[in-house]
Structure 1
Amino acid sequence: MAGADQPPEADSPREPAGSESDADRASAGSGRTGLSRRGLFGAAGAGAAVLGAGIAAGVAGDRWLAGPSAAGVGAAPPAERRYPFHGTHQAGIATPVQDRLHFAAFDVTTEDRAALIDLLRKWTAAAARLTQGLGAGEFGPTSGPYDAPPDDTGEAVGLPPSGLTLTFGFGPTLFRDDHRRDRFGLADRQPAALRRLPHFPADKLDPARSDGDLCVQACADDPQVAVHAIRNLARIAFGTAAIRWSELGFGRTSSTSTGQATPRNLFGFKDGTANLKAEDPALLDDHVWVPPGADRAAGWLAGGTYLITRRISMAIEPWDRTSLREQENLIGRTKDAGAPLSGGTEFSQPDFGLSGRGGVPLIGTDAHVRLAHPDQNDGVRMLRRGFNFVDGTTGLGRLDAGLFFIAFVRDPRSHYIPMQTRLSAQDGLMEYLQHTGSALFAVPPGAAAESSYLGESLFT
């Protein structure tokens, strides 16, 4: 299953998550040494592979130095992967999905426009360092003025970069707050599509798990690396912004590269079989990236995208007592191979017109695959980067677990809202799902030059 929020392209669930992520974690473990992240990266020198143009580091005395790096693809083991922070688009969207997530939404606590811009500048500088395996500040966790707090918290010392990506977005309340106030002079630049998501049928949203002025998505193959990044960004934001809510995720529930196997979600089904892939840039242009001229008031968003999050609680215990036949009928795919019930293999196109005995469709009219498929949604698709979560247990002793759904779309009004409205009202899986958190953010284009900062086009 892909969760009720499964995008059209992700019309199926997830393959046993284990081999790939376990191997990555094993590699990460073997890559750890007693060196600090600074020393580890400095020792690697020009031989450390960086995917695309990035930042390499040297060490001069007790200070970090950033400079050009050697480019290489595929030479580094998984734990040593580094993705460039600067670029046309932000990383962490079409980047191959990592295995771990720490997602955080922030409320801006100042009304000073200059302070907000300063925060974005500081976040950009810190993110450029963190994604390359460096500390959040130039001194690191053990250097700098002795009577001042370190400019990095230090829990990632000795850990490799683990493919860390940091992706930033702006919520609708950054432009107009809940009282319709234009705190930062941005109201006339708010994209028409950037509004709170509607309350879909059967939603039971917790305001404490929804919305936000800013968001940061930290993805990595080591959970401590992702948590370290969010912790340091929150530390830098002190006095300007504070975390509103956050979510930890494990085990990706989709693939964004043809080199990745289809994962499985907590219902045990392959998830995201037809997800958009980075290797098809034409489809990304059609369904993910905002084109120039799409919104006259928001030209600053060209090259960016929209990020949708939905926290979907799964009724794990009732599902585990449901027959295999019923499970497969609700999903519309087989549980073992992920093939559509109309026949074929995992990647066969579902035949929604094929019927069995008595003229009953082999893929039911309330099956998740049917309702989420592009053919049933005017051909629109989305790029999914969801994760499983387990947040302990409920007061009834059941697992507080489910899918933290993340999708990137060109326009939520056409690429998400109509489909989710239909799923919420008609999907048979809704008996086992409850949507408890919801948010929409505009993700600006990347900071193309090292001298620029994220969101600069919005403020200039």
Structure 2
Amino acid sequence: MSEKPVTSRRNLLGGALTAAGAVAAGGVGFGIAHATDSPSAGSDATKAKATAAKAASDQVPFFGAHQAGIATPAQDRLAFAAFDITSTDAQAVQVMLGTWAAAAAQMSKGLLIGPVENTPSAPPIDTGEAYGLGAANLTVTVGFGPSFFDDRFGLAKFRPAALADLPTLPGDGSIDPTRSGGDLCVQACADDPTVAFHVIRNFARLARGTAVMKWSQLGFGRTSSTSTEQQTERNLMGFKDGTRNIKAQSTPDLDDYVWVGEETDQSWMKGGSYLVARRIRMLVESWDTDYLTDQENVFGRYKTSGAPLGGKDEFDTPDLTAKDPQGQPVIPLNAHIRLAAPETNNGQKILRRGYSYTDGIDSTTGLLDAGLFFIAYQKDPRKQFVPIQTRLGQQDNLNEYIRHTSSALFAVPPGLTASGDWWGKSLFG
């Protein structure tokens, strides 16, 4: 097959490009500019060494069997975006994904994707706002939505059965389609908000002419722990969230519930996972008028300690059989932790990586638009998220105080193994 002309993205990055790989479909090289430790080549060597040392101290490895940002200990900040592909050229999509991968590898080291002071008469290759902030434990996670596998690029045969469109679930009446779905998703997590935002901003720039951002969400403050070394944080209702979450140290749980294995019908997804994202608005003004005992009965936990009702410690296993002196369940039948528990969901679990959000004031009501941006990973949403959320949507007492306003599902492929690899590379072979 003859080589096709290199896209304008390569021209944008200019002569500083180095090969990050080759597109199998057309043999086109793509890459990203050499990252530097400073905006200009003439920066002081001592400053460059200090910057490099800072970056090395707070890095999460980018390459590996699984994408970082799933079982990685949850960072403090989130920048999430869904993109729709506008190009009909499969080669352009491959170049974009390859460029994204090369850029993510650089940013995960705390480096720029290219010089800021390159040519005065041309836009800087890197936007520059994250310069000097280090890696801040940045992780970049990319996934493909169901619509990615339509007939535009001949990929329908690669769509996994587990990537079935989410059904309309109980409580979905407030879902906004303009902030749901998408061909691609990018989840950037970091301990610095600017570092996370820097990923989404630069990915959007690198995607120009090929894809556009459909919707995005910023998150502050993780609402669940994904490591035994982390304390459990509180959601905006003031309750500890994700106490019984799958932890990074639990390899059996990750293998059983998170990582796609031999059960998949698509070999390219082995080692990957499925991401469900839900924007859940909390009616905090109504919640704040509810009395403490009722709040605790809604969740099934004590507000201060986080212990399950009837227990003493946050990590006590909820006793779903316990009765009070009147013979009533200590943990109410419609309490959130009862309905979400593996014991009431055929043993199924999901790995949660949610974040609190606030998007100002609802102009219609004058009330706060704030809540939880729920992210969950699992090996098959049909067997995990869908039945769990169906039960919650039908019975959970928490439904009085929340509204689901967006919904999305993405197949997150396995990790990249080396420079020149990129998400979905085998699909275009």
Same fold (TM over 0.5): yes
The one-letter code matched in structure 2 to 1:161 is: A
Taking the aligned partners of 2:142 and 2:125, their CA distance within structure 1 comes to: 21
Q: Secondary structure at the match of 1:330?
A: helix
| TM-aligned CA distance change 1:341 to 1:41, over 3 Å | farther
Shift of 1:41: 7.8
Matches within 5 A, 1:103-122: 103-122=80-99
Q: Secondary structure at the match of 2:326?
A: helix
Taking the aligned partners of 2:361 and 2:416, their CA distance within structure 1 comes to: 41
1:384 aligns with 2:352: yes
The one-letter code matched in structure 2 to 1:243 is: M
1:417 aligns with 2:386: yes
Shift of 1:48: 5.4
Which ranges of 4 or more aligned residues in structure 1 deviate by more than 6 Å?
Answer: 37-41
Shift of 1:47: 5.0
The one-letter code matched in structure 1 to 2:103 is: A
| TM-aligned CA distance change 1:37 to 1:351, over 3 Å | farther
Shift of 1:342: 2.4
Taking the aligned partners of 1:317 and 1:235, their CA distance within structure 2 comes to: 38
1:330 aligns with 2:307: no
Shift of 1:206: 0.2
Taking the aligned partners of 2:320 and 2:332, their CA distance within structure 1 comes to: 8
Taking the aligned partners of 1:37 and 1:350, their CA distance within structure 2 comes to: 57
With the length of structure 2 as denominator, give the TM-score of the two structures: 0.87
Specify which of 416, 420, 428 is matched with residue 451 of structure 1. 420
The one-letter code matched in structure 1 to 2:428 is: F
Taking the aligned partners of 2:53 and 2:135, their CA distance within structure 1 comes to: 15
Specify which of 290, 306, 309 is matched with residue 274 of structure 2. 306
1:283 aligns with 2:257: no
Taking the aligned partners of 1:273 and 1:457, their CA distance within structure 2 comes to: 38
Specify which of 197, 204, 209 is matched with residue 179 of structure 2. 209
Taking the aligned partners of 1:206 and 1:216, their CA distance within structure 2 comes to: 19
1:174 aligns with 2:122: no
With the length of structure 1 as denominator, give the TM-score of the two structures: 0.82
Taking the aligned partners of 1:371 and 1:114, their CA distance within structure 2 comes to: 46
RMSD: 1.7
The one-letter code matched in structure 1 to 2:189 is: C
Matches within 5 A, 1:244-255: 244-255=214-225
Specify which of 94, 99, 107 is matched with residue 71 of structure 2. 94
Structure 2 residue aligned with 1:141 = 116
The one-letter code matched in structure 2 to 1:308 is: V
Shift of 1:173: 0.2
Taking the aligned partners of 1:46 and 1:430, their CA distance within structure 2 comes to: 48
Taking the aligned partners of 1:310 and 1:141, their CA distance within structure 2 comes to: 36
CA contact (8 A) 1:37 1:158 kept: no
CA contact (8 A) 1:312 1:403 kept: yes
Structure 2 residue aligned with 1:44 = 50
| TM-aligned CA distance change 1:45 to 1:234, over 3 Å | closer
Taking the aligned partners of 2:281 and 2:144, their CA distance within structure 1 comes to: 25
Structure 1 residue aligned with 2:209 = 239
CA contact (8 A) 2:284 2:368 kept: yes
Taking the aligned partners of 1:129 and 1:448, their CA distance within structure 2 comes to: 15
Structure 1 residue aligned with 2:8 = none
CA contact (8 A) 2:305 2:314 kept: yes
Taking the aligned partners of 2:234 and 2:277, their CA distance within structure 1 comes to: 19
191-200 or 419-428, which moves further after superposition?
191-200
CA contact (8 A) 2:224 2:241 kept: yes
Gaps of 5+ in 2: 1-36
Shift of 1:457: 2.5
The one-letter code matched in structure 2 to 1:277 is: K
The one-letter code matched in structure 2 to 1:249 is: G
Calculate percent identity across the aligned residue pairs. Answer: 55
Q: Secondary structure at the match of 1:350?
A: coil
CA contact (8 A) 1:306 1:411 kept: yes
Shift of 1:35: 6.2
Deviation per CA, 1:73-119: give whole Å up to 9, x if none. xxx3xxxx111211111111111111011100000001111111111
Taking the aligned partners of 1:430 and 1:207, their CA distance within structure 2 comes to: 20
Matches within 5 A, 1:5-404: 42-44=48-50, 50=56, 76=57, 81-137=58-114, 140-143=115-118, 145-176=119-150, 182-203=151-172, 204-292=174-262, 294-296=263-265, 298-395=266-363, 396-404=365-373
Taking the aligned partners of 1:168 and 1:284, their CA distance within structure 2 comes to: 19
Taking the aligned partners of 2:230 and 2:421, their CA distance within structure 1 comes to: 33
The one-letter code matched in structure 2 to 1:258 is: T
